Structure 1
């Protein structure tokens, strides 16, 4: 998992980490994953007591959408999406059953499609991918506070 500085994660009133997780068969609408991200952000705000910036409200569903789309396009079948609040950041993790790691392509504004991981790595402060005993896991870290100028 990507390193995030400071605390390991905010807890809700019952002492549980602020997180969300869903397992998918692969036939669900992509909107379900984006909805999970939006519900997670609401829990971060209300239960975790973290102020979520406008950038994060826009970018987290985009990051989730790009990662889940990548799985559905290149590793169809069962997959899991996990979101966790860690040190003021959203840690987004997507697991699937295919051990092949994706390749992040070179920037090419003329290319149609294939920009998903390019987008994710551009907006996130951390991105890792690694094989697991079964399949692989892609993990991205997105700050929840808007950058100050």
Structure 2
């Protein structure tokens, strides 16, 4: 999970999760650790809010993959300019659909949350399964004063 150096290409980390048990907690921990390392080792401005929001988005995406797909889940994090890109792959080819807001509905609000928090979101079918990509701001203040 060691990030690449800037000279060798984009900074990133990836992990394969078994899709069972504590994989959601493992994914959240990996995301927080990755962003903390980017701040400490590469002087990338990462706000505490960005770490927390990234953990929430990772949690929502991995929870859905664990719930709806059988088998492994791949989590990939990349630094892309002033954004962190979160990609989650799973074996279920069904793309998620945002539902209309309904305060009376219990559950199934994950995609609404993700879309409200992210600068970008896309879902694409892969030859096997699907890949969901969310892009989140690393700093609350573009000048980096909030880190």
TM superposition score normalised by structure 2: 0.87
Equivalent pair of 2:4/2:12 in contact (CA under 8 Å):
no
Equivalent pair of 2:85/2:134 in contact (CA under 8 Å):
yes
SS at match of 2:29: helix
The structure 1 residue matched to 2:107, chosen from 102, 106, 113, is: 113
Equivalent pair of 1:77/1:97 in contact (CA under 8 Å):
yes
**Aligned residue in 1 for 2:56:** 62
State the distance in 2 between where 1:70 and 1:60 align.
Answer: 15
SS at match of 2:51: helix
Equivalent pair of 1:37/1:64 in contact (CA under 8 Å):
yes
The structure 2 residue matched to 1:140, chosen from 100, 114, 134, is: 134
State the distance in 1 between where 2:136 and 2:6 align.
Answer: 24
Gap runs ≥5 in structure 2:
143-147
State the distance in 1 between where 2:68 and 2:7 align.
Answer: 39
State the distance in 1 between where 2:4 and 2:43 align.
Answer: 9
**Aligned residue in 1 for 2:120:** 126
Alpha-carbon displacement from aligned partner over 1:2-50 (angstroms, at most 9, x marks no partner): xxxxxxxx96366353211110121140110000001111121123321
The structure 2 residue matched to 1:21, chosen from 5, 8, 14, is: 14
Higher relative contact order (CA 8 A, sep 6+): 1
Instruction: Using the TM superposition, name which of 105-114 and 11-20 deviates more.
Output: 11-20
Equivalent pair of 1:56/1:142 in contact (CA under 8 Å):
yes
Instruction: Using the TM superposition, name which of 111-120 and 43-52 deviates more.
Output: 43-52
**Structure (1 or 2) with the greater helix fraction:** 2
State the distance in 2 between where 1:58 and 1:114 align.
Answer: 20
**Aligned residue in 2 for 1:5:** none
Gap runs ≥5 in structure 1:
1-9
Task: Measure how far apart 1:110 and its partner are.
Answer: 1.3
Q: How many residues align?
A: 139
